[in-house]
Homo-oligomer: A and B are copies of this chain.
Amino acid sequence: MSPRLHPFEPVKDYEIRLASKLVKDAYPAAANVHFVQIDRLDPPKKDMKKYIQAERDGSPLPNIPRILYCYYYTNTLDFNKALVNVSIGHIITKVQLPKGVVGPLLPDDMMEWEEHCNNHPKIQEEIAKLKLPPGYTVRNDPWIYATDDANETRPLCQFFMYVLAGNGHTESNHYSLPLKFSPVFECFTKKFIRMDYLPGGFDATTVPTQPWIPVPAVEYHPDLNGETTMRDVKPLLISQPEGPSFQVTDGNKVTWQGWEFRVSPTSREGFAVYDVWFKGRQVFYRISLSEMTVPYGDPRAPYHRKQAFDLGDCGFGTNGNHLALGCDCLGVIKYMDGMGIHATGEPFIIPNTVCMHEQDDGLLYKHVNYRTNNAVVARKRIFVVQTIATVANYEYIINLKFVTDGSIDIETRATGILSTMPIDPDVKVPWGTVVGPNVMAAYHQHILSFRIDPAIDGHKNTVVYDDAVKLPRDDFNPFGIGFVTDRKYVEKAGHIEQSPFTNRTYKIINENKINPISGSPVGYKVNMPARQMLLADKDSFNSKRAKFATEQIWVTKYRDHELFAAGEFTNQSHSDTGLGEWANGVDDVRNDDIVVWATVGFTHIPRVEDFPVMPVDIHNIQLAPFNFFDKNPALDLPQSNNAFNKSILVGDEKTEKACCKTKI
């Protein structure tokens, strides 16, 4: 049995061990239980409301059992889910899922299949035809097998094959040298299913494997990239001699500058923040990345099956980076570990998968009285919760930035290596960019869903949207310059269309709580730029599987365990069982417990500069108080001055130098 953990504490190794043991014990040994994901299940909100109230009142805390979900295969290909109460050591339920439901893939398995593929006689046979130069070998990336056949029920995996240059370096960029054959295997049984061949010209024509035409790889690693003169970047050091302004207590509770919340690494989402308060007022119950889909625009088979769901298909936390001190963030850093599992159900720590630190972000506000030249000025300090996941070739950096003015900035940075395709010399295609010799990067989209579970001064909230509209020109508006806002209320679960040209802004308000100054309901606004959504046809699998990717903002009624925008199981899914079902036009969502889903999308037309490793493309959603406080809530920040900030003039750093040199 577990000791009494906070319900929002991340899963513990002993909890995973207990759950996996209970599940294994429930089957005969011959069933060969093979786990693919185990993590904590969120507690029911009705219980947590009481718990949070008791926490704030200082009254006795309700006992909320810790429950884990386990995804696992039995008898090789039967996919199951169990819920285990690890507080009392008891399996609540276990079910075998219908044929065709495919679970998330486990990194251990992927690595094994990767090796299996390369060593398979059929693949060896194909490799031989390449007649590679001495020292050159072949590497493959196992890829999620997206859906193109409603009758397919086997769990499959598509392997994209690349030449690994003969430089003997493990970090050579194989993505620069894609090959034109791509085998498909069945997962778990490791059965060879089929060899797909990839086109190299303008159309879908393929040819049998030919000897490889040697071209140099475009390398990103400093040992290989050919950069002989590195830029002279001088150190820029961030120090907090009096310590950081934040505290982490009780395992995962962060207190910083009026903010209070809990951070919990999760296998699927990377992390979630829970129970967010600012200046003693409740603002959000839970915020996290919810799903992501990356469909490619190259129409030719098998590229139409490149549509990964990076959370549901493989786990964003599961693929979280081990963040390194001084590498991924600067200053005084607090790390949290993630938790991974082996197929046996044995847990292991994914070290430093979340990092937290403070940053300066320029000025927060300033006013100068021109009569006296007196300035009032405060700097913008932010608290960053960061995680980074590597999904094969690509990296996503998710930063939740809490700001001293009560706002939250949800930032996505896309980086890593483009997914590449072979292309013949002198060929150009209208759906891709040639980024190196014989290598093309197809146009694609990154569409992320962030799930925002609000609690704006309580759980009964409403989503409204305001358009700024001209007043008619009449006696009341004789000069034709007047404009007002027009407010609409979201009454039923569904989506809202973006409308940038009317300055449409979304607000989550609490109609039961009126701001005494403005006389209007308190709220938070959701700022996000208008973007192109999913380009695929409405009746394509890409669209059917990712309804969330078709609109930018959604509102649903809260229900426990509705966390993932494309549904619980996305791998080879045939349709969306998330927003596609929950945004049903039926549920009442006005003045109710609701969830807001914000879709951040960007159509990525690769540029040569994105290769061999891509400078970050940054996208943001801002949540900001809107008539929530009775004035600027950051007036209690200290004034910015040099007694505090210790800036120096260029040229004066010499005197600093000696001191700092002894310090570092």
Q: Are B615 and A407 in contact, CB atoms less than 8 angstroms apart?
A: yes
Let me know if A431 and B483 touch, CB within 8 A. yes
Q: What 1/0 flags go to A619-638 for Cβ under 8 Å of B?
A: 00000111111111111111
| Nearest Cβ on chain B to A306's Cβ, whole angstroms | 9
Binary per-residue interface labels of chain A (440-454) against chain B in the complex, 1 for a CB within 8 Å, 0 otherwise: 000100000000000
Stretch at the interface among A20-28, A180-188, A370-378: A370-378
Q: What are the residues of chain B within 8 A of A377 when measuring CB–CB? A: 327-328
Establish whether residues A471 and B235, one from each chain, have CB atoms under 8 Å apart when the complex forms. no
The reply to whether A653 and B443 form a contact with Cβ atoms under 8 Å apart is no
Contacts of A484 in B (CB 8 A): 297, 430-431, 443
Would you call A404 and B479 a contact (CB within 8 A)?
Answer: no
The verdict on A397 contacting B366 (CB below 8 Å), with A434-B517, A641-B326 known, is: yes
The A contact surface, by secondary structure, is loop
Contacts of A321 in B (CB 8 A): 366, 368, 375
CA distance A451 to B562 in the complex (A): 48
A372 CB to closest chain B CB (Å) equals: 5
Cβ B535 vs Cβ A470 within 8 A? yes
Residue pair A656, B647 in contact (C-beta under 8 Å):
no
Q: In the complex, are the beta carbons of A243 and B653 less than 8 A apart? A: yes
Is A250 on the interface with B (CB-CB < 8 A)? no
A648 contacts the other chain (Cβ, under 8 Å)?
Answer: yes
The answer to whether B325 and A649 have CB atoms under 8 Å apart is yes
A440 closest partner in B (C-beta): B518
Report if A476-B299 is in contact (Cβ < 8 Å); known contacts: A233-B381, A530-B529: yes
Contact B245 A367 (CB under 8 A): no
Q: Report if A237 contacts B (CB, 8 A).
A: yes
- How many angstroms between the C-alpha atoms of A354 and B333 in the bound complex? 33
Q: How far is the CB of A544 from chain B (nearest CB, A)?
A: 11
What B residues does A397 contact at CB under 8 A? 362-363, 366
Q: Which of A221, A297, A358 has the most CB of B within 10 A?
A: A297
Q: Determine if B234 and A326 form an interchain contact, defined as CB atoms under 8 angstroms apart.
A: no
Closest chain-B Cβ to A242's Cβ sits at a distance in Å of 5
Task: Tell me whether A95 is interfacial, beta carbon within 8 Å.
Answer: no
Task: Point out the residues of chain B lying under 8 angstroms from A638, CB to CB.
Answer: 230-231, 233
Contact A435–B330 (Cβ < 8 Å) = no
For the complex formed, measure the closest distance between the CB of A275 and the CB atoms of chain B, giving whole angstroms. 21
**Contact A659–B663 (Cβ < 8 Å):** yes
A560 at the interface (CB under 8 A from B): no
Q: What is the size, in residues, of chain A's interface with B at 8 Å between Cβ atoms? A: 192
Interface 9-mer from A11-19, A569-577, A586-594, A602-610? A602-610
Q: With A326-B644, A609-B631 given, is the CB distance from A503 to B531 under 8 Å?
A: yes
Interface stretch (choices A97-105, A264-272, A387-395): A387-395
> Given A242-B657, A365-B616: A605 and B485 within 8 A (CB)?
yes
Task: Indicate if the CB atoms of A476 and B204 lie closer than 8 Å.
Answer: yes
Complex contact B221–A415 (CB within 8 A): no
Which B-chain residue is minimally distant from A110 (CB atoms)?
Answer: B370
Q: Which residues of B contact A392 (CB under 8 A)?
A: 370
Q: Mark A393-415, 1 if CB is under 8 A from B, else 0.
A: 10101010000111100000101
Report yes or no: A236 in contact with B171, Cβ–Cβ below 8 A.
Answer: no
- Indicate if the CB atoms of B616 and A380 lie closer than 8 Å: yes
Is A240 a contact of B231 with CB atoms below 8 Å? no
| Interface presence of A364 (CB below 8 A) | yes
A613/B376 in contact, CB under 8 A: yes
A542 cross-chain contacts in B, Cβ below 8 A = 479-481
| Given A367-B415, A433-B518, 14 new contacts (CB under 8 A) | A111-B371, A170-B369, A229-B636, A241-B664, A296-B481, A304-B478, A307-B481, A367-B416, A380-B616, A436-B631, A480-B542, A483-B536, A614-B632, A615-B632
Cβ contacts A to B, 21 pairs, < 8 Å: A218-B631, A222-B639, A230-B638, A236-B359, A237-B240, A241-B653, A324-B642, A326-B640, A326-B643, A326-B647, A328-B366, A332-B648, A365-B614, A405-B615, A479-B540, A500-B531, A503-B532, A529-B530, A608-B628, A609-B632, A646-B664
User: Across chains A and B, which 9 residue pairs bring their CB atoms closest together, nearest first?
Assistant: A326-B642, A299-B482, A480-B537, A241-B660, A326-B645, A299-B477, A529-B529, A326-B647, A304-B479
